[in-house]
Copies of this chain bind each other. A is one copy, B any other.
Amino acid sequence: MDTSMTSSDGAIFSMDCDRRCSYSVVVADHVLECTASPLHRLLRGRRALAVTTPTVHAFYRQALDDFCRWGDIDLLVLDVSEETKTLATAERICQRALALGLDRRAMLVSIGGGVCSDLCSVAASLIRRGIGCIRVPTTLIGQIDAALGVKGGVNFEGRKSYLGCFTAPALVVLDPTFLRTLQRCDFQRGLAEIIKIGLVRDEGLFELVESAWREFIDTRGRTPTSRLIIERAALRMLEELQGNPFEDKTYERLVDAGHTFSPRIEAASGFSIHHGEAVAIDLCLSATIAAEAGLMSWNARDRVVNLIDAIGLPAFTPVANAALCAAALTEAARHRGGHTDLVLPRRIGEAVFVKSECDLQPHVVPAAIERLEVDASARYVAAGSGAAARA
Binding site for B on A (CB under 8 A): 1-6, 9-28, 37-38, 87, 91, 94-95, 98, 101, 103-105, 125-130, 150-153, 156-157, 159, 161-166, 168, 174, 224-225, 227-228, 231-232, 234-235, 238, 241-242, 245-248, 333-338
29 interchain pairs, CB-CB under 8 A:
A1-B225, A2-B228, A5-B235, A6-B26, A6-B27, A9-B26, A12-B25, A12-B234, A13-B235, A13-B238, A13-B242, A14-B24, A15-B22, A15-B24, A15-B245, A16-B22, A17-B246, A18-B22, A95-B157, A98-B157, A98-B162, A101-B334, A104-B334, A104-B335, A128-B162, A128-B164, A129-B153, A129-B165, A130-B166
Check B103 against A337 for contact (C-beta < 8 Å): yes
Residues of B within 8 A of A333 (CB): 103
Check A3 against B228 for contact (C-beta < 8 Å): yes
Q: Which residue of B lies closest to A15 (CB)?
A: B23
Given B15, B125, B153, which contacts A165 in the complex, CB threshold below 8 Å?
A: B125
CB within 8 Å for A129 and B156 given contacts A98-B162, A103-B334, A334-B101: no
Residues of B within 8 A of A9 (CB): 26, 38
Known: A3-B225, A12-B234, A13-B238. 9 other contacts (CB 8 A): A9-B26, A10-B28, A12-B235, A12-B238, A18-B20, A98-B156, A127-B163, A128-B164, A130-B166
- Shortest distance from the beta carbon of A118 to any chain B beta carbon, whole Å: 11
Distance in angstroms between the alpha carbons of A11 and B28 in the assembled complex: 9
Check A231 against B103 for contact (C-beta < 8 Å): no
